[in-house]
Amino acid sequence: MPKKPTTPPKEALDFETALQQLQEVVARMENEQQSLDAAIADYEKGTQLATLCQQHLDTAQLKVEKLVKSKDGFRFEALDSSDD
């Protein structure tokens, strides 16, 4: 059975903000001459942002997968957050 993704903490960035920051980090790393320390710091931040974006996407996928067909059509079953 696939591992259930962890839900991003409530104080974490939303997906759009995290993705925008990740794109900025990537652009900086591709287009600027950086010191080794700055490049490593950007790499670390980028991997954290990428992980956060993936967590948001995994959570969204689970919500979509919870959409189940019933005799009356489709209904949405809320995720049980107590399984965390």
Q: How far apart are alpha carbons 54 and 6 in whole angstroms?
A: 10
% of the chain residues with pLDDT over 90: 52
Instruction: Pick left, alpha or beta for residue 31 (phi over 0 → left; psi -120 to 50 → alpha; otherwise beta).
Output: alpha
Mean pLDDT value across residues 30-59: 94
Global pTM reads 0.67
Report how many domains make up the chain.
1
Instruction: Identify the helix (H) or strand (E) that includes residue 69.
Output: strand 67-70
Distance CA(63)–CA(61), nearest Å, equals 5
Asked if residue 50 is part of any domain, the answer here is yes
Task: With respect to residue 76, please indicate whether it lies within any of the assigned structural domains.
Answer: yes
CATH number of residue 43's parent domain: 1.10.287
Tokens encoding 57: 């996407």
pLDDT tens-digit readout, 51-82:
999 999 999 888 777 776 556 666 666 655 55
pLDDT classification of 84: cutoffs 50, 70, 90:
very low
Domain for residue 66, yes or no? yes
Domain annotation covers residue 10 = no
Look up the domain containing 32 and give its range.
Answer: 15-83
Any domain includes 5: no
d(CA 21, CA 11): 16
79 vs 26, which has greater pLDDT?
A: 26
